[in-house]
Amino acid sequence: MYITRREYFNAAHKIANPEWDEAKNQEVFGGCANPNWHGHNYVLYVTVKGNINKETGFVVNLKKLSGVMRKHIIEKVDHKNFNLDVPFLKDILPSAENIAVAFWNELEKPVSDLGCKLHSLRLHETENNYVEYFGEK
């Protein structure tokens, strides 16, 4: 059985390869390379899988899953700058893809401690763009 929890947060970032000059970063990343940063209203979906507990009828208590998401991700990134303020994103080019992998790494163990397995993580950066990550296979 699979179950998904959604959380929201806001964050800023700049996507620019430090090995490239400003012109090349603008060519490849466009407005995402803005030297003055830019931000998004993110939506994070975390899907877990497991067996239904006969006593509760739950795969996981969604209140506890929400607490894990808030403690390990939301409280660390909400209204922050990914490039400057988030230690687990240090030295990582903060594309949606890389952010999703970093979030997975932060969540995998605490989700497992709830008695279920992290199945997928979907990160919506805009209404039109999202990434979905299923972990390393």
Contact 60, 123 (CB under 8 A): no
CB-CB neighbours of 130 under 10 Å:
16
Helices and strands per DSSP (H, E), number in the chain: 5, 5
Please confirm, yes or no, whether 125 is among the known catalytic residues.
Answer: yes
Q: How far apart are CA 13 and CA 34, in angstroms?
A: 9
Catalytic-labelled residue, pool 13, 116, 124, 125: 125
Catalytic-labelled residue, pool 7, 32, 40, 108: 32
Catalytic-labelled residue, pool 75, 79, 97, 132: 79
Please confirm, yes or no, whether 32 is among the known catalytic residues.
Answer: yes
Please confirm, yes or no, whether 119 is among the known catalytic residues.
Answer: no
Q: Which residues carry out catalysis?
A: 32, 79, 125
